[in-house]
Structure 1
């Protein structure tokens, strides 16, 4: 009797933080890993340091802002490793911005190119093959920051709101073909990205705990999941606040660090 090959997960932003934690969780569950990052050599070194067998992972160096690069990584994965069962568009950046400063418009451009266009380019090589196969998971990593805008976070909040709406649109397109689109919306997760924040982070969660909950939501094919759930409650309450009260609540809140800070 032939044993079915282990499922494959394709993860961008796999060099650190959430991406690396997700890679470890999927590997522990017996999945094969297709790992994507700009720093491919570092990811390769990390995987070998974990003791991962050479046939259980592949590294595809790519930059999601370079559309040809990330498309080529997806096509190489399909050709050399196989069509993934799950694709996780995790690569993202988070930088503060001040619209009064013209140089920060480039921050917004880079944020949208990475967090939005990069996500669509990550999914693009896999949509048609998954629909033909009539199975698969396309997973977008959003943020509770996409639910309501925060002062000094204009680029990041807007980009993550875009992720939520984009994944919702894609979900409707893929549903008739048996392909599930999963939106994972993290709260504050303890990663190198959040460690730079200079404000309180309620319900801060270790990356491995987040990865475990995200893994279960992805395998289950949940359409939308906020992790941890407490941040989902907070976000919904903030959404219900009248604008005047919300603005007063955030008055004087420290802003996200800008690129030069």
Structure 2
């Protein structure tokens, strides 16, 4: 998919972490709505194979290789998109990792740093190339993918919960900064979604959605310019109720709950 290939008309969506799971489902949903695609993944061969299998030619879909944890890498991908395809109408910072941690283990502090580099700094770096251009145009949507895990910290999930809480706070800050510019900031908090990542979980996942169902609901929320939405809403209710529990009750409720796999136990890339 050569960047010099002429593009067709139609809105453009830029999606990170597009090679599997939620990102791939979002790409398919936006394609069905007539969007051109700018898809970012570390595994570009997988991404290109998927795009070709969908029948997307280079005029419809461009693939950019980048690691969102590397600021220069993801910024370069955004700049390449601007040069080859123009200013996106929607930018979705979806790429993320989820790895369990134990603060007593030195190597897990490195896990936490890598989680923040991907889920937080990488999110801001994903948006960076497009903010000025979208503001100048006076339209667009910047979409941060958080998690319902942002609402309350879970034992063994310290890095992930903290990073997703930071996604919510960062997007709220950015929304205030861009108020009146015409650029919307949308924060989406998935509950449990059936992806290669969540299939490794060793605990119960209530209200589990398929990636396609999540993508449908996310597409509607983005189109409506919703500032904050938990998908599915039932998980939002559960999380808010947990937020209201006094700490001793919450701690007792989660005592003995299986924890997320730590580094080396399972692959933890979205």
2:241 maps to which of 234, 237, 240: 237
Q: Give the Cα–Cα distance (whole angstroms) in 1 for the partners of residues 228 and 91 of structure 2.
A: 15
1:107 aligns with 2:102: no
Name stretches of at least 5 consecutive residues in structure 2 with no aligned partner. 1-7, 266-270
Partner of 1:136: 140
Query: Could you tell me how far apart the structure 1 residues matched to 2:184 and 2:18 are?
Result: 22
243, 248, 258: which one aligns with 1:254: 258
Equivalent residue, structure 2, for 1:97 = 101
Gaps of 5+ in 1: none
**Deviation (angstroms), 1:42:** 1.1
C-alpha RMSD of the superposition: 0.8
Is 1:30 the counterpart of 2:34 in the alignment?
A: yes
Alignment pair present for 1:77 and 2:81: yes
CA shift, 1:41, in A, is 1.5
Of the three residues 131, 156, 160, the one matched with 1:156 is 160
User: Using the alignment, how far apart are the partners of 2:174 and 2:9 within structure 1?
Assistant: 28
Confirm whether residue 124 of structure 1 aligns to residue 128 of structure 2. yes
User: Which of 222, 225, 228 is the aligned partner of 1:221?
Assistant: 225
- Following superposition, which runs of at least 4 residues in structure 1 exceed 2 angstroms of deviation? none
User: Counterpart of 1:173?
Assistant: 177
Q: Does 1:188 align with 2:192?
A: yes
Name the structure 1 match of 2:5. none
- 1:54 Cα shift? 2.5
* 1:54 counterpart SS class: coil
SS of the equivalent of 2:64 reads strand
